[in-house]
């Protein structure tokens, strides 16, 4: 299968040979679990609550889907991992700032912990790029 790797300055790449943040195969965009790790310091986390972290994560996802040639409306599925499910209303509030109309299908999963104790949320996404018709000059 042919696929291409997509990068964005809004989502720093992991160390080599670990994983890809974003791959596109057959017009489907696969975005790995993104967290609110700081763009400039991988040891720091942007935001100390679910609302702020969700906004930071969705900004990274937006950067990746746009770098792939799509937009947030092309995202069809989100999987959201949280450490405190009772704070989900803050996740939904932030999500409304990035999506409108038909929201993507979504799973919300509570986990006991994520990569660091300060990380409260992780989101992975799947998008489907629109077919672009080739325009041939007459």
Q: What pLDDT score was predicted for residue 134?
A: 39
Q: Which residue range forms the structural domain that includes residue 110?
A: 4-128
Q: How many domains does the chain have?
A: 1
Residue 138 lies in a domain: no
Q: Let me know: does 27 contact 129? Beta carbons within 8 Å.
A: yes
Asked if the structure places residue 67 within a domain, the reply is yes
Q: What does the alpha-carbon distance between residue 61 and residue 3 come to, in Å, rounded to a whole number?
A: 18
Whether 122 is covered by a domain: the verdict is yes
CATH of the domain at 36: 3.30.1330.40
Distances (CA, A) of 134 to 118, 131, 137, 138: 47, 9, 10, 12
CB–CB of 64/22 below 8 Å? yes
pLDDT at 39: 85
Of 62, 57, 101, nearest to 82 by C-alpha is: 57
Question: Measured in whole angstroms, how far is the alpha carbon of residue 135 from the centre of its chain?
Answer: 31
Q: What's the average pLDDT block by block, 10 residues per block, for the chain (138 residues)? A: 86 78 95 93 91 98 96 98 98 97 96 96 97 46
**Within-domain flag for 42:** yes
């Amino acid at each position: 299968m042919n696929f291409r790797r997509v990068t964005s300055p809004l989502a720093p790449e992991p160390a080599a040979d670990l994983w890809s943040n974003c791959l596109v195969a057959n017009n489907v965009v696969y975005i790995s679990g993104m967290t609110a790790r700081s763009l400039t310091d991988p040891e720091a986390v942007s935001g100390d609550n679910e609302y702020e972290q969700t906004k930071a994560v969705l900004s990274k996802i937006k950067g990746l889907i746009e770098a792939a040639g799509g937009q947030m409306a092309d995202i069809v599925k989100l999987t959201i991992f949280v450490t405190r499910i009772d704070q989900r209303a803050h996740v939904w509030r932030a999500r409304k700032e990035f999506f409108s109309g038909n929201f993507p299908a979504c799973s919300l999963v509570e986990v006991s912990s994520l990569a660091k104790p300060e990380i409260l949320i992780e989101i992975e996404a799947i998008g489907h790029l629109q077919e672009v018709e080739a325009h041939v000059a007459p």
